[in-house]
Structure 1
Amino acid sequence: MITGELKSTIDRVWDAFWSGGISNPLEVIEQITYLLFIRRLDDVQTLAESKARVTGGEVENPVFLPGQAHLRWGQFKNTSPEVMHRTIADDVFPFLRGLGDSSTYSEHMKDARFTIPTPALLSKVVDMLDDIPMADRDTNGDLYEYLLSKIASAGVNGQFRTPRHIIDLMVRMTAPQPRDEVCDPACGTGGFLVAASEYVRETHADALLDANQRQHFHHSMFHGYDFDSTMLRIGSMNMLMHGVESPDIRYRDSLSEGAAGDTEKYTLILANPPFAGSLDYEATAKDLQRVVKTKKTELLFLALFLKLLKPGGRAAVVVPDGVLFGSSKAHKELRRIMVEEQKLDAVVKLPSGVFRPYAGVSTAILFFTKTNSGGTDDVWFYDVRADGFSLDDKRNSVEADDLPDVLTRWQNLAEEDDRARTEQSFLVPKADIVAQDYDLSLNRHKEIVHDEIEHRAPLEIIADIEILEDEIARGLSELKAMLS
């Protein structure tokens, strides 16, 4: 995470937005996102111009045409705050909205609105962004991560952001490979996709030296959908700032009838889908309803994940506890499908405070593989009791943290065979899950050992009480005598 001067500069600009009347953290990040994109366009044009000078040819695919120089970051940043504010409001933003480029970023700028209220505030923001070395992917990524952390600390919009340490655990447990096609059908700010891209860079750096593999990484490896245009803009820029040039991040209501077309397309799904409320039957895709007849979004998303995965594809997804033990016909049928028709790999139970202060709901992470032919053998259960943070609304850092142990044990499942069900993690044979009517709640399979406590005989306790009563009576008599 960024520290020092850059961090304090961002904090000052954030405070300036707040005092300038923009208090919604998403709007603040959105305005900064627009400005980062504008600067990026200028950098792309500058690079193309340098290449043309070296080769003696024309500038390829120019972003800015002759007569549009005043729209470029390098030009307007040097004008007075008043002129800059007027130029951006009247010329630059209409230019952004009219960009014909088919890239992810241009697509999400169609309804861009400029809401920075004063020239002074704009000048501060532009000065801050101009000081950031945009060629440094790590600095860019850290900057954007810090901005997004402001959403998490803002309260009302915190539900958009899955805690980074939970995302990292899910990514490391699924271990994305360079040839994977990764999808998050409810991508929000793109946290899962960013973490997957960073993991591939970290563990398969040599793969990105290959031209075909590099093309796949930047253009066809990462896919995200959301139906909030602000989230799409922020998620796209998050990917760009982390060095992914053109991810497939699109507007889509993943559960709707009109969202067909991606059946069996992806090899890895990482998601924390929304699971508040129900949907209208009419709006929900009929093929999902055929899998599981329900209005509950959490069940429909699981059916969607099975639809989107290629055979052999794997998934790690956050679900509310009710999915594990719900007694409705839809709940039971979906669990049966997971166990009998696909391969359920693991259930990692999370403590209920993980999503505080925004939600106290109890959750778990399901890990499964799409096979369409069964394959569930032993299902691994882990009871996470601490995640490195206090489980109250403050979520302060603490020493207790089971997550490293989760990853270590997951990577050495053979050693879990002989663990008793009284322990924090254990394997449960498929036959036992079937016998429990496909109930996947940890408590259904965990054995609880009660300590034997020897109580004294009742008559002995009564005798002690009588002795105490005699002592109290004598004390009262003595007290009376002293007062008379």
Structure 2
Amino acid sequence: MSIGTTIKTIQDIMRKDAGVDGDAQRINQLVWMIFLKVFDAREEEYELLEDNYKSPIPEGLRWRNWAADAEGITGDALLDFVDNALFKTLKELRTKATDDHGRMIGKVFEDAYNYMKNGTLIRQVINKLNEVDFNKKEQKKQFSEIYEKILKDLQSAGNAGEYYTPRAVTKFIVDRVKPQLGEIVLDPACGTGGFLTAAIDYIRQHFQSADVPEIL
């Protein structure tokens, strides 16, 4: 299933929830879910690389322990968990965390909000997100693709103040600029990272792989 189809399915699920009003709230709802899923994947890497790695997230609140199991907590129990345990604790990390990762999580959740009011629908959204594996290199572009898909929907509805530059346009411009190894690429109006991604692709295509550092 393509990422576009997955996001459309998630949007359709969210439309059934009385607490979510419009695409802007749907994208905000998705952001914190995707963040926790991606951070959990990164923590798997940290655990392999660092012998004494300790997660800033309490064990029971880590994505792997409450969201990863498709048959896990759902319904009213899930809604209560998200509103009264997950959000409450992660928001407190803004001031209580003693490490950079913890403070970052607290900052992300400082203005985050769980708009969904149906725990069964929350579980359905989570299970669809779990079909996307952000650990695979070829799927890392899906970060921007997810945002671009929702952003295009927002624009078509006429209720967004952000603008999406089509992939063909970013590729054309980067091909004309011809970025070189060692140069700094700046996208001052970076939204989905389309220009930066196109620049990375250009460099990887035009230079020997041994000369290109691991970028992402």
What are the superposed Cα offsets for residues 71-104 of structure 1, whole Å, 9 maximum, x if unpaired? 0111112432133332222232344432555469
Contact 1:151 1:158 in 2 (8 A): no
Q: In structure 1, what is the equivalent of residue 61 of structure 2?
A: 71
What are the superposed Cα offsets for residues 425-448 of structure 1, whole Å, 9 maximum, x if unpaired? xxxxxxxxxxxxxxxxxxxxxxxx
Contact 1:152 1:158 in 2 (8 A): no
Q: In structure 1, what is the equivalent of residue 151 of structure 2?
A: 151
AA aligned opposite 2:56: F
State the shift of 1:133 in Å.
1.7
User: Relative to structure 1, is the Cα distance of residues 40 and 17 closer, same or farther in structure 2, using a 3 angstrom cutoff?
Assistant: same
Higher relative contact order (CA 8 A, sep 6+): 2
AA aligned opposite 1:89: D
Structure 2 alignment gaps of length 5 or more:
none
State the shift of 1:183 in Å.
1.7
AA aligned opposite 2:168: H
Q: In structure 2, what is the equivalent of residue 114 of structure 1?
A: 114
User: Relative to structure 1, is the Cα distance of residues 45 and 173 closer, same or farther in structure 2, using a 3 angstrom cutoff?
Assistant: same
User: Relative to structure 1, is the Cα distance of residues 31 and 206 closer, same or farther in structure 2, using a 3 angstrom cutoff?
Assistant: farther
Contact 1:176 1:199 in 2 (8 A): yes
- Residue 80 in 1 paired to residue 73 in 2? yes
Sequence identity (%): 21
Structure with bigger strand share is 1
Between Structure 1 and Structure 2, how many residues are aligned? 201
Contact 1:160 1:189 in 2 (8 A): no
* CA distance in structure 1 between the partners assigned to 2:7 and 2:199 by the alignment: 26
Matches within 5 A, 1:179-190: 179-190=182-193
AA aligned opposite 1:76: W
Q: In structure 2, what is the equivalent of residue 38 of structure 1?
A: 36
TM-score of the two chains, using structure 1 as the length reference:
0.37
Structure with bigger helix share is 2
Matches within 5 A, 1:44-193: 44-51=42-49, 58-60=51-53, 62-64=54-56, 68-77=58-67, 78=69, 79-81=72-74, 82-97=76-91, 98-99=93-94, 100=97, 102=100, 106=105, 107-142=107-142, 144-154=144-154, 155=156, 156=158, 157=160, 159-193=162-196
Q: Which has the larger radius of gyration?
A: 1
State the shift of 1:160 in Å.
2.0
* CA distance in structure 2 between the partners assigned to 1:194 and 1:152 by the alignment: 18
Q: Give me the CA root mean square deviation.
A: 2.9
State the shift of 1:70 in Å.
0.9
- Residue 20 in 1 paired to residue 8 in 2? no
- Residue 196 in 1 paired to residue 189 in 2? no
Task: Report the secondary structure of 1:183's partner residue.
Answer: coil
State the shift of 1:8 in Å.
3.4
State the shift of 1:9 in Å.
3.6
State the shift of 1:159 in Å.
4.3
Aligned with 1:207 (options 207, 211, 215): 211
Contact 1:31 1:115 in 2 (8 A): yes
Contact 2:144 2:192 in 1 (8 A): no
